[in-house]
Amino acid sequence: MANKKSSIKRDQLIKKANAKNKASKTLLKTNLKKFSTAVADGDRKAAESAYNVAAKTVDRAATKNLIHKNNAAHKKSSMARALNTLEAK
């Protein structure tokens, strides 16, 4: 347990940052899962809209250093490949 005033404050800041990061990562995973389910269903329109949301979330996570920029590029690339395999209905 923190004893000094500065370490107590630092502990509070860390807890707040951890909560924010966890929420952002959860949102990222949720949006990626929505995209993958849309692709699995074979619905191109739903997959395109889910791709736009997921790509934006991935970019934001990379900007906030939640994931590495190369990891973000990898995720976006694989999503684009999956989207391009779907036929327009």
Q: pLDDT at position 89, please?
A: 56
Q: pLDDT at position 1, please?
A: 74
CA distance 35 to 86: 12
Q: pLDDT at position 88, please?
A: 64
Q: For 72-89, how does the pLDDT look when each residue is reduced to its tens digit (9 = 90+)?
A: 999 999 999 999 998 765
- C-beta separation of 82 from 33 below 8 A: no
Q: pLDDT at position 34, please?
A: 97
Q: For 33-68, how does the pLDDT look when each residue is reduced to its tens digit (9 = 90+)?
A: 999 999 999 989 999 999 999 999 999 999 999 999
